Structure 1
Amino acid sequence: MAKARASLRNVEHVDVHEDDLKEEDAEETLDESMDPLEESGHTVNSSDEEVEDAVQEDMARFEETFEGINKRFRLINRIGEGTFSTVYKAEDLEYNQYDNSWDIDERENRKWSSPARRQRPSRRPHYVAIKKIYVTSSPIRIFNELELLYDLRDSDSVCPLITAFRHTDQVVAVLPYFQHSDFRDYYRDMEVSEMRLYFRSLLTALRSVHAKKIIHRDVKPTNFLYNPAQSRGVLVDFGLAEREGTDWHHCPCHLSDEDRRYKAAHSVYAQTQQSGHNITSYPKSDTRSSRRANRAGTRGFRAPEVLLKCTQQTCSLDMWSVGVILLTMLSRRFPFFHSADDIDALLEITTIVGRKKMRETSILHGQVFETNIPSYSESGHTLEKIILWCTGRTGEKTQPKKELDEDEKEAVQFLYRLLECNPAKRITADEALRHPFITKGFEDNEMDEDMVDLIEA
Structure 2
Amino acid sequence: MEVTPVCTERIGTDGCIIRSDRGHRRSKVPRDVEMDIEFLYKVVPQLAKVFRIIDKIGEGTFSSVYLGEAQMRDGRREMFALKHLIPTSHPTRIAAELQCLTVAGGKENVMGVTYCFRKDDHVVIVMPYMEHRAIVEIISSMSFEEVRLYIYHLLKALRHVHQFGIIHRDIKPNNFLYNRSHKLYALVDFGLAQGTVDTQIELLKDLTGLRRVPRPVFGERNLNSCTPAPSTTKQAAIKTESGKTEEPASRRYPSASRGPLPARSQSSSQKPQRAVHQGLTCNCYQTDRVCNICLSRKQQVAPRAGTPGFRAPEVLTKCPNQGTAIDVWSAGVILLSLLSGRYPFFKASDDLLALTQIMTIRGSRETIQAAKAFGKAVVCSRELPRQDLRTLCETLRGRRPSPDDEVTPLPEANKDSTATRCHKIQDDTPTHRPANGAGQTFPNHREHSQSTPLTKQDSESDYKVEEDERGWDSVPDEAYDLLDRLLDLNPATRITAAQALQHPLFADL
TM-score (norm 1): 0.70
Q: Does 1:163 align with 2:169?
A: no
Work out the CA distance in 2 between the residues paired with 1:285 and 1:56: 52
* Offset from partner CA, 1:174-199 (integer Å, 9 cap, x none): 11111212212211211111111111
Q: Does 1:312 align with 2:380?
A: no
Residue number among 136, 143, 146 corresponding to 1:191 in the alignment = 143
Counterpart residue type for residue 363 of structure 1? K
- Maintained 8 Å contact 1:294/1:311: yes
Point out which structure has higher relative CO (alpha carbons under 8 A, 6+ apart): 1
Q: Does 1:210 align with 2:210?
A: no
Residue number among 181, 201, 206 corresponding to 1:229 in the alignment = 181
418 and 48 in structure 1: CA distance in 2 versus 1, 3 angstrom threshold: farther
- Flag structure 1 segments of 5+ consecutive residues without an equivalent: 6-45, 97-120, 249-265, 443-457
Work out the CA distance in 2 between the residues paired with 1:316 and 1:130: 30
Matched position secondary structure for 1:69: helix
Per the alignment, residue 62 of structure 1 pairs with 40
Counterpart residue type for residue 290 of structure 1? Q
368 and 136 in structure 1: CA distance in 2 versus 1, 3 angstrom threshold: same
Residue number among 475, 494, 497 corresponding to 1:407 in the alignment = 475
Matched position secondary structure for 1:311: coil
386 and 47 in structure 1: CA distance in 2 versus 1, 3 angstrom threshold: farther
- Maintained 8 Å contact 1:192/1:411: no
Per the alignment, residue 233 of structure 2 pairs with none
Work out the CA distance in 2 between the residues paired with 1:278 and 1:396: 34
Q: Does 1:180 align with 2:125?
A: no
Work out the CA distance in 2 between the residues paired with 1:151 and 1:163: 14
Q: CA deviation at 1:73?
A: 0.8
Higher share in helix: 1
Work out the CA distance in 1 between the residues paired with 2:25 and 2:305: 32
1:39-50 mapped onto 2 (5 Å cutoff) = 49-50=27-28
Work out the CA distance in 1 between the residues paired with 2:25 and 2:56: 8
- Maintained 8 Å contact 1:291/1:309: yes
Matched position secondary structure for 2:29: coil
1:184-333 mapped onto 2 (5 Å cutoff) = 184-245=136-197, 246-247=208-209, 268-269=280-281, 272=283, 280=289, 282=291, 284=293, 289-333=298-342
Per the alignment, residue 108 of structure 1 pairs with none
More off after superposition, 389-398 vs 198-207: 389-398
Work out the CA distance in 2 between the residues paired with 1:138 and 1:331: 39
Residue number among 87, 92, 105 corresponding to 1:135 in the alignment = 87
47 and 145 in structure 1: CA distance in 2 versus 1, 3 angstrom threshold: farther
More off after superposition, 406-415 vs 418-427: 406-415
Work out the CA distance in 2 between the residues paired with 1:47 and 1:141: 39
162 and 396 in structure 1: CA distance in 2 versus 1, 3 angstrom threshold: closer
Per the alignment, residue 484 of structure 2 pairs with 416
Per the alignment, residue 90 of structure 1 pairs with 68
Work out the CA distance in 1 between the residues paired with 2:324 and 2:126: 26
* Offset from partner CA, 1:151-209 (integer Å, 9 cap, x none): 21343111111121111111111111112122122112111111111112211111110
Q: CA deviation at 1:367?
A: 1.7
Q: How many residue pairs are counted as aligned between the two chains?
A: 345
Work out the CA distance in 2 between the residues paired with 1:129 and 1:356: 46
Counterpart residue type for residue 355 of structure 2? L
Q: CA deviation at 1:324?
A: 0.6
Work out the CA distance in 2 between the residues paired with 1:405 and 1:436: 19
Higher share in strand: 2
| Seq. identity, % | 38
Counterpart residue type for residue 170 of structure 1? H
- Maintained 8 Å contact 1:47/1:77: no
Pairwise CA RMSD: 2.8
Q: Does 1:388 align with 2:340?
A: no
Counterpart residue type for residue 32 of structure 2? A
- Maintained 8 Å contact 1:192/1:408: no
Work out the CA distance in 1 between the residues paired with 2:173 and 2:141: 15
1:46-125 mapped onto 2 (5 Å cutoff) = 49-93=27-71, 95-96=72-73, 121=74, 123-125=75-77
Counterpart residue type for residue 180 of structure 2? P
- Maintained 8 Å contact 1:272/1:283: no
Work out the CA distance in 2 between the residues paired with 1:332 and 1:426: 24
1:435-446 mapped onto 2 (5 Å cutoff) = 435-440=503-508, 442=509
Work out the CA distance in 2 between the residues paired with 1:192 and 1:393: 14
Q: Does 1:349 align with 2:355?
A: no
Q: CA deviation at 1:330?
A: 1.1
Residue number among 432, 442, 445 corresponding to 2:500 in the alignment = 432
- Flag structure 2 segments of 5+ consecutive residues without an equivalent: 2-23, 198-207, 211-277, 405-463, 465-471
* Offset from partner CA, 1:252-274 (integer Å, 9 cap, x none): xxxxxxxxxxxxxx9544x7489
Counterpart residue type for residue 439 of structure 1? A
* Offset from partner CA, 1:8-28 (integer Å, 9 cap, x none): xxxxxxxxxxxxxxxxxxxxx
More off after superposition, 287-296 vs 199-208: 287-296
Q: CA deviation at 1:70?
A: 0.8
Counterpart residue type for residue 195 of structure 1? V
* Offset from partner CA, 1:355-386 (integer Å, 9 cap, x none): 111111221222211122x4xx3432121222
- Maintained 8 Å contact 1:157/1:205: yes
TM-score (norm 2): 0.63
47 and 323 in structure 1: CA distance in 2 versus 1, 3 angstrom threshold: farther
Matched position secondary structure for 2:81: strand
Matched position secondary structure for 2:82: strand
